[in-house]
Structure 1
Amino acid sequence: MSLLTPLFLLGLAGLALPILIHLTQRERRQVVKFPSLMFVRRIPYQSVRRRSIRNWLLLMVRLAALALVVFAFARPFFTGGDLGASVTGAREVVILLDRSYSMGYADRWDRAAAAAREVIDDLEAADRATIVLFASSAEIALRSTAERDRLLGALDVAAPGGGATRYAPALKVAAGVLGESSLPRREVVLISDFQRGGWRGEEGARLPAGATLTPVRIDGGDGPNLTATSVSLSRSTFSDQERVAVTASFVNRGTEPVPPRAVTLEVDGRVIGTAQVEADEAGAPSVTFDPFTVTGRTMRGTVRLADDALAADNVFHFVITPSEPVRVALVQRAAGPGADPYLAQALAIGDEPRFETTVRTPEALSDQDLARASVVLLVDAPVSTALARRLEAFVARGGGLMLATGPRSSWPDDVDLLPGVLAEPVDRTSGVAARVGAIEFAHPLFEPFRAPRSGDFTAARFYGYRSITAAPEADVLARFDAGSPALLERRAGQGRVLLWASTLDMSWSDLPLRPVYLPFVHRAMLHLSSYREPATWRTVGDVLDSTSAGDRVEAGLVALTPSGGRLSLDEEGAAVFELTEQGFYEIRVPQAPDAETQVTAANVDPAEADLTAMEPQELIAAALAVPSAEADAAASAELSPETREGSQRLWWFLLLAGVILLGIDTLVSNRLSRA
Structure 2
Amino acid sequence: MSLLTPWFLAGLGLLSIPIIIHLTHRQRSRVTVFPSLMFLRKLPFKTMNRRRIRHPLLFALRCIAVILLALAFSRPFFDTVAEMEAGSARDVVILLDVSASLGYEGRWDAALDSARAVLDGLGEGDRVAVATFDERARERVPLTLDLVAARDALADLATTDLGTRLEGGIQLAERILSESEDRTREVVLVSDFQRTGWEDGGRVRLPDGVALRAASVAPEEGANVALAEAAVRAAGDGRVRLLARLANMGDAAVEGLPVSLEIAGRTVATIPVDMPPRGAGTAVFDDLALPEGRSRGRLTIPEDGLAIDNAFRFVAVPEAGLRTLILENNRRASDGSLFLERALEIGDAPRIETSRTPATGLDAGALSSADFAILNDADLADAGRAGRLREWVSDGGGLLIVLGRDASMNRWSDAGLELLGAAPGSLVDAADGRRLSSLDYDHPVFELFSGPRSGDFSGARFDRFWSLDPGEGTVVVARFDSGEPALFEHSVGEGRVLVWTSTLDRYWNDLALQPVFLPFVHRLALHATGYREPERWIEAGGVLELAALVGTGGAGVAGVGGVTELAGDEAEWVLVDPDGDRQPVDVGEGPTWIEFPRAGFYQVALRDDAGRAITVAVNPPITESDLTPVATERVVEAVAGVAPTAAGAAGENGAAADEETVPRRAELWWVLLVLAGVVLAVESVLANRWTRQRPVSGLAGA
Query: Does the 8 Å contact 1:248/1:303 carry over to 2?
Result: no
After superposition, the Cα gap between the structure-2 partners of 1:435 and 1:553, relative to the gap in structure 1 and judged at 3 Å, is same
Q: 2:614 maps to what in 1?
A: 597
Query: Does the 8 Å contact 2:93/2:173 carry over to 1?
Result: yes
Q: 1:288 maps to what in 2?
A: 284
Whole-angstrom distance in 2 between the partners of 1:325 and 1:289 = 19
Q: 1:316 maps to what in 2?
A: 312
Q: 1:402 maps to what in 2?
A: 400
Query: Cα distance, 1:387 vs. partner?
Result: 4.0
Name the SS for the 1:273 alignment partner: strand
Query: Does the 8 Å contact 1:439/1:477 carry over to 2?
Result: yes
Whole-angstrom distance in 2 between the partners of 1:621 and 1:486 = 54
Q: Does 1:242 align with 2:239?
A: yes
Name the SS for the 1:469 alignment partner: coil
Whole-angstrom distance in 2 between the partners of 1:455 and 1:473 = 29
Query: Cα distance, 1:378 vs. partner?
Result: 1.8
Whole-angstrom distance in 2 between the partners of 1:577 and 1:549 = 10
Q: 2:519 maps to what in 1?
A: 519
How do 1:493-642 residues align onto structure 2 when only pairs under 5 Å count? Answer: 493-505=493-505, 508-509=508-509, 511-512=511-512, 515-542=515-542, 544=544, 548-549=548-549, 555=566, 559-564=575-580, 566=583, 568=585, 570-571=587-588, 573-576=590-593, 579-590=596-607, 593-595=610-612, 597-606=614-623, 608-615=625-632, 617-625=633-641
Query: Cα distance, 1:329 vs. partner?
Result: 3.3
Query: Does the 8 Å contact 1:227/1:250 carry over to 2?
Result: yes
Q: 1:44 maps to what in 2?
A: none
Whole-angstrom distance in 2 between the partners of 1:107 and 1:373 = 56
TM-score (norm 1): 0.69
CA deviations 1:253-273 (Å, max 9, x no partner) are 2x4555755442222322222
Q: 1:665 maps to what in 2?
A: none
Q: 1:92 maps to what in 2?
A: 91
Name the SS for the 2:178 alignment partner: helix
Query: Cα distance, 1:610 vs. partner?
Result: 2.3
After superposition, the Cα gap between the structure-2 partners of 1:286 and 1:371, relative to the gap in structure 1 and judged at 3 Å, is closer
Whole-angstrom distance in 2 between the partners of 1:501 and 1:175 = 60
Query: Does the 8 Å contact 2:226/2:247 carry over to 1?
Result: yes
Query: Cα distance, 1:524 vs. partner?
Result: 1.0
Q: Which AA in structure 2 matches 1:562?
A: P
After superposition, the Cα gap between the structure-2 partners of 1:427 and 1:83, relative to the gap in structure 1 and judged at 3 Å, is closer
Q: 1:378 maps to what in 2?
A: 375
Query: Cα distance, 1:251 vs. partner?
Result: 0.6
After superposition, the Cα gap between the structure-2 partners of 1:106 and 1:520, relative to the gap in structure 1 and judged at 3 Å, is closer
Name the SS for the 1:422 alignment partner: coil
Q: 1:198 maps to what in 2?
A: 197
Query: Does the 8 Å contact 2:543/2:593 carry over to 1?
Result: yes
Q: Which AA in structure 2 matches 1:288?
A: V
Whole-angstrom distance in 2 between the partners of 1:376 and 1:444 = 19
How do 1:32-111 residues align onto structure 2 when only pairs under 5 Å count? Answer: 91-111=90-110
Q: Which AA in structure 1 matches 2:597?
A: T
Query: Does the 8 Å contact 1:347/1:357 carry over to 2?
Result: yes
Name the SS for the 1:155 alignment partner: helix
Query: Does the 8 Å contact 2:544/2:593 carry over to 1?
Result: yes
Name the SS for the 1:111 alignment partner: helix
Q: 1:480 maps to what in 2?
A: 480
Higher Rg: 1
Query: Does the 8 Å contact 2:259/2:271 carry over to 1?
Result: yes
Query: Does the 8 Å contact 1:462/1:510 carry over to 2?
Result: yes
Whole-angstrom distance in 2 between the partners of 1:318 and 1:179 = 45
Q: 2:670 maps to what in 1?
A: none
After superposition, the Cα gap between the structure-2 partners of 1:243 and 1:160, relative to the gap in structure 1 and judged at 3 Å, is same
Query: Cα distance, 1:517 vs. partner?
Result: 3.8
CA deviations 1:618-663 (Å, max 9, x no partner) are 333333349xxxxxxx99xxxxxxxxxxxxxxxxxxxxxxxxxxxx
After superposition, the Cα gap between the structure-2 partners of 1:306 and 1:506, relative to the gap in structure 1 and judged at 3 Å, is closer
Whole-angstrom distance in 1 between the partners of 2:331 and 2:266 = 48
Q: Which AA in structure 2 matches 1:352?
A: A
Whole-angstrom distance in 1 between the partners of 2:304 and 2:634 = 31
Q: Which AA in structure 1 matches 2:635?
A: L
Whole-angstrom distance in 2 between the partners of 1:368 and 1:130 = 70
Name the SS for the 2:420 alignment partner: coil
CA deviations 1:295-318 (Å, max 9, x no partner) are 333333333222222222323333
Whole-angstrom distance in 2 between the partners of 1:271 and 1:432 = 63
Identical amino acids, percent of aligned pairs: 33
Q: 1:270 maps to what in 2?
A: 266
Q: Which AA in structure 2 matches 1:491?
A: S
After superposition, the Cα gap between the structure-2 partners of 1:366 and 1:313, relative to the gap in structure 1 and judged at 3 Å, is same
How do 1:247-262 residues align onto structure 2 when only pairs under 5 Å count? Answer: 247-253=244-250, 255-256=251-252, 261-262=257-258
Query: Cα distance, 1:132 vs. partner?
Result: 1.5
Query: Does the 8 Å contact 2:379/2:412 carry over to 1?
Result: no
Whole-angstrom distance in 2 between the partners of 1:368 and 1:159 = 59
CA deviations 1:503-554 (Å, max 9, x no partner) are 3355545555555443332221111011111224444455555654365686
Larger mean Cα displacement after TM superposition, 602-611 or 397-406:
602-611
Q: 1:329 maps to what in 2?
A: 325
Query: Does the 8 Å contact 1:178/1:208 carry over to 2?
Result: no
Q: RMSD between aligned alpha carbons? A: 3.9
Q: 2:466 maps to what in 1?
A: 466
Query: Cα distance, 1:148 vs. partner?
Result: 4.0
Q: Does 1:424 align with 2:426?
A: yes
Stretches of structure 2 that go unaligned for 5 or more consecutive residues are 1-79, 552-562, 568-572, 643-664, 667-702
How do 1:100-179 residues align onto structure 2 when only pairs under 5 Å count? Answer: 100-123=99-122, 127-179=126-178
Query: Cα distance, 1:451 vs. partner?
Result: 5.5
Whole-angstrom distance in 1 between the partners of 2:300 and 2:518 = 38
Query: Does the 8 Å contact 1:195/1:614 carry over to 2?
Result: no
Query: Cα distance, 1:434 vs. partner?
Result: 4.8
Whole-angstrom distance in 1 between the partners of 2:81 and 2:520 = 73
After superposition, the Cα gap between the structure-2 partners of 1:440 and 1:582, relative to the gap in structure 1 and judged at 3 Å, is same
After superposition, the Cα gap between the structure-2 partners of 1:335 and 1:144, relative to the gap in structure 1 and judged at 3 Å, is farther
Query: Does the 8 Å contact 1:298/1:599 carry over to 2?
Result: no
Query: Cα distance, 1:501 vs. partner?
Result: 1.5
Query: Cα distance, 1:171 vs. partner?
Result: 1.0
Stretches of structure 1 that go unaligned for 5 or more consecutive residues are 1-80, 627-633, 636-675
Name the SS for the 1:159 alignment partner: coil
Q: 1:648 maps to what in 2?
A: none
After superposition, the Cα gap between the structure-2 partners of 1:145 and 1:234, relative to the gap in structure 1 and judged at 3 Å, is same
CA deviations 1:195-240 (Å, max 9, x no partner) are 3333236355333443332222324553643333444445412xx2
Aligned residues: 542
CA deviations 1:22-73 (Å, max 9, x no partner) are xxxxxxxxxxxxxxxxxxxxxxxxxxxxxxxxxxxxxxxxxxxxxxxxxxxx
After superposition, the Cα gap between the structure-2 partners of 1:411 and 1:578, relative to the gap in structure 1 and judged at 3 Å, is farther
Whole-angstrom distance in 1 between the partners of 2:362 and 2:390 = 14
